[in-house]
Structure formats: structure tokens, C-alpha cells
Amino acid sequence: MGRAKIGAIIGREFNYRVRKRTFILGTILMPLLVVGLAIAPVWMATVKTGGDKVIEVIDRTGQIVSELQSQGTIRFEPTDRPLDEIKTPNRDDIYGILTIDTVANGDPTGLKLYTYGPTSIEVEQTVVRQVRDIVEKEKLRTYAIDNLPQILQQVETPVNVETFRIDEAGDERASSSTLSMGAAYLFGFLIYLFVFMYGAMVMQGVIEEKSSKVLEIVVSSVRPFELMMGKILGIGLVAVVQFLIWAILIVILGMAAVAWFGANAALGATPTEIGNLSGMAELAYVDPQALEALRNMTDPGYVTGVFGGFIAYFIGGYLLYAAMFAAVGSAVDNVQDTQQLQIPITVPLILAIIVLFTVMRDPQSSIAFWFSMIPFTSPVIMMARIPYGVPAWEIALSLALLYGGFIAMVWFAAKIYRVGIFMYGKKPSLREMCRWITYKN
């Protein structure tokens, strides 16, 4: 009978929330936002930002202007006219004026850039880089060493290290610390964000029903524990369904975006070949080793394991924190009164985010291990470790402790919830809420 009542509450919470406009809009807009942020740099690289940026150059040294090379939309034009004559207001035929006074001891001085609008970091970096390269090349000539530029080019030795991970079966797989670190931060932060977001949703739902006196009617037919579990599981089901829809839409939209831009055309190409392609293709370039690591990380088995771990740790973390949020929501009459009572809940989550950055640098450290075992921090920390590879026994032990912690927390939260939902007009202290746990049924 109790299970039937909990199931009815789960169905009510699920149906009520998935029909809300905010759920529908959030489910549709989130994938569009994620894919949009991913393809924005590629799209921006294919869009021309106005006409050429013409920069007139007054080179009083006579040594640099002839070596300046126009690049992209930046075009250098030498001029012999004095600065006061060409620096007239409201000119729309040029972007700006560059002056170079002298070269003292081989170093240029009086390098000034005047623009007729807001300057950009691209223009500044282009000017500084080209002038620096020209002066450095001139300095090399003073050493009177034959073929010095060619010698330096031959001496320059790029060193690339290929990294492989040996799995439990003894097989080796290409790995990339950069990709693993990016995945660790992404999954760890998402766990933190969604656990907090959906847990707070439980608290807000309890407060709304309590303030509207709905709870007084509901608890006449179901036990407080059944009501609390129904709300927690119902909202949790909403979250899981929303995640699945997001994953499907992101994959579909992502594949469509890649096909549209043709980004795969440049994967694996050499830098020389990349230089002959458009800016869009340059952004799509991935060196062969990183490409192999990326393929391994997008392998269906790897993706299934990571996504399965994400779901398992999200559900466990959500259940653990939702029970605490439900207890807080039952003890107050409005959201403003929850600020102080939320501190014990938010501190472990914030601590997990702080530790996350340490774990990303060394996922096998002792601090990473212990924080991935503590139920209050394990959802964030373990999801930051999984992309690097974690022994199966550590994941099993961590999940056992997490779900065991949820069971214990539900027992404590239910006692607070049972008393709190009948309390009105008074904001209890943490000490008083702890006393509620000792009350007998």
C-alpha cells in the first residue's frame, strides 16, 4: 500500500513538472545553447568582420616598414607624410596610423598606434609580433654568421611525447591529459550544478505546498515519509528524463553542425595543408595523437561508461542532497528563511568544487581517493576522476558508500520532515532541528 502511494506521488510530481513551460523551454534551449557555444568560434571564423583595416605606417628608421606584411584584414601602407598632416579627425578611409621613431641599440622606440575607433587585441598583437620578428631578424644579421637563420631553424627541435594508458587487461590505449582534464572539469561541475539545482527544486516545492496548506490535506492520506520520498523520486525522474533528452538532442545537433561546417575535412591534416584552408578548417585541426585519444574517448564503450557513471553519481548525489533540502523546506514557511539552514548543505558541495581543481592535476592522489569516497563529495570528485580511468573496485565502493549515505540521510531527514511540515510561523534553529531527530514516532 505504501509503495502504491509513493508511486502515485511520483506520478503526480512527474506529470506536473514535465508539463510546465519552464521544463519544455529548458529541455529545448539547453542543447541549443551547448551546441551554439561549441560552434560559435567556428562560425565566427567564417564570417568577415567588415572591410580591411588599413594602417598607414610612418617609419622614421626606414628599416621596418618594407618588411611589414599584410595579414588577413590588416593591411599596412607606408607613407612619407608627416603625422600632423594625416592625423586629421573623422577619417573613414583608414583604420589607424603606426609610427616608428628610431632603432636604438637594435630596439625600436616610439612605436605608437593611433586608431579612429576602439582598437582590438588582434591588431595590437599583429603589430607587436611583426615588428619584433623584423628586429630580431636584423639583430641576427649583425653576428655575420653565414646561413644563421637556416642554422637556427635546423637546431630548433620539436619534442612530442605520446601518452598511453595500460588498462587492467594489459592493453594500451592512447590518452590525452588535456582531453581528460577538460572532461573531468565538465562532468564534475555538471554534477555540482544539477545536484544543487534539482535539490533546491525539491525544497522549493515543499515550501510552496506548505505555504498553500496543501500538505495538511495530503498528509491526512499518506505518511510524511511517503510524501517526502514521492517528491524526491518524482523530481529525480524528471531530471533523468531531461538528461536523456538533452543527450540525444546534443548528439543530433552536434552531428548536424559538424556536417554543416565540414569541420572533419581538416582532421589529421598537416600544418602546411591547414595553412591553405579556410579559418574554419584551421580551428578543426587536431594532431594525430590527440585525434586518436579523442576517438578513444568517444568510443561507445568509453562514452557508455562515463555516461553511466554520470547517471549513477547524479542519482546518488541528488537523492542524498534532496533529502536534506526536503528537510530544510519542511522546516520553514518561505525561501528567505532557508539561507542559514542551507549552509550545512552547501558547504560540502563548495568544498568539492575547490578540491576538484586539485584532483584534475593528480587524480590518483590520496586526497582524490578519500574525497571520492565521502558521500557528500564523491559525486563531484569521482566524476572528475572517471575520465582519467578509475579501478572498478573504487567505483563500486564509492557508490556503495554514496547510496548507503542516502539511506541514512533519508532516515534523519524523514524525522525532521515529519515534524517540520506541521510547523508554521516560526523559523527553527539548527539545534532545534537536531532535537526533532530524537522525537519518537
What are the pLDDT digits (tens) for 114-138? 887 777 788 888 888 888 888 877 7
| pLDDT surpasses 70 at 352 | yes
| pLDDT surpasses 60 at 105 | no
| pLDDT surpasses 50 at 238 | yes
Rg of the chain (C-alpha set): 31
Average pLDDT score, the chain: 75
| pLDDT surpasses 80 at 393 | yes
Using pLDDT thresholds of 50, 70 and 90, give the confidence band for residue 276. very low
Distance CA 371, CA 351 (A): 10
3-state secondary structure the chain: CHHHHHHHHHHHHHHHHHCCHHHHHHHHHHHHHHHHHHHHHHHHHHCCCCCCEEEEEEECCCCCHHHCCCECCEEEEECCCCHHHHCCCCCCCCCEEEEECEEECCEEECCEEEECCCCCHHHHHHHHHHHHHHHHHHHHHCCCCCCHHHHHHHHCCCCCCCCEEECCCCCEEECCHHHHHHHHHHHHHHHHHHHHHHHHHHHHHHHHHHHCCHHHHHCCCCCHHHHHHHHHHHHHHHHHHHHHHHHHHHHHHHHHHHHHHCHHHHCCCCHHHHHCCCHHHHHHCCCHHHHHHHHHHCCHHHHHHHHHHHHHHHHHHHHHHHHHHHHHHHHCCCHHHHCCCCHHHHHHHHHHHHHHHHHHHCCCCHHHHHHCCCCCCHHHHHHHHHHHCCCHHHHHHHHHHHHHHHHHHHHHHHHHHHHHCCCCCCCCCHHHHHHHHCCCC
Using pLDDT thresholds of 50, 70 and 90, give the confidence band for residue 376. very high
> Could you give all domains of the chain from N- to C-terminal order, each with its CATH number?
2-44+172-436 (no CATH), 53-153 (3.40.190.10)
Confidence at residue 401, expressed as pLDDT on a 0 to 100 scale: 95
Using pLDDT thresholds of 50, 70 and 90, give the confidence band for residue 402. very high
Grid cell for residue 349: 558541495
224 or 122, higher pLDDT: 122
- pLDDT, average across residues 324-338: 79
Q: 283: burial class by Cβ within 10 Å (0-12, 13-18, 19+)?
A: middle
What are the pLDDT digits (tens) for 5-44? 778 778 877 887 888 888 888 888 877 887 777 666 656 6
* 395, 378 contact by CB (below 8 A): no
Partners of residue 78 on adjacent β-strands:
57
- pLDDT, average across residues 94-118: 75
Confidence at residue 285, expressed as pLDDT on a 0 to 100 scale: 43
Confidence at residue 171, expressed as pLDDT on a 0 to 100 scale: 56
- From residue 295, give the alpha-carbon distance in Å to each of 128, 291, 302: 38, 6, 10
Confidence at residue 123, expressed as pLDDT on a 0 to 100 scale: 83
Express as a percent the part of the chain with pLDDT over 90.
9
| 70-74, 238-242, 275-279, 423-427, range with greatest mean pLDDT | 238-242
Confidence at residue 275, expressed as pLDDT on a 0 to 100 scale: 43
Confidence at residue 333, expressed as pLDDT on a 0 to 100 scale: 73
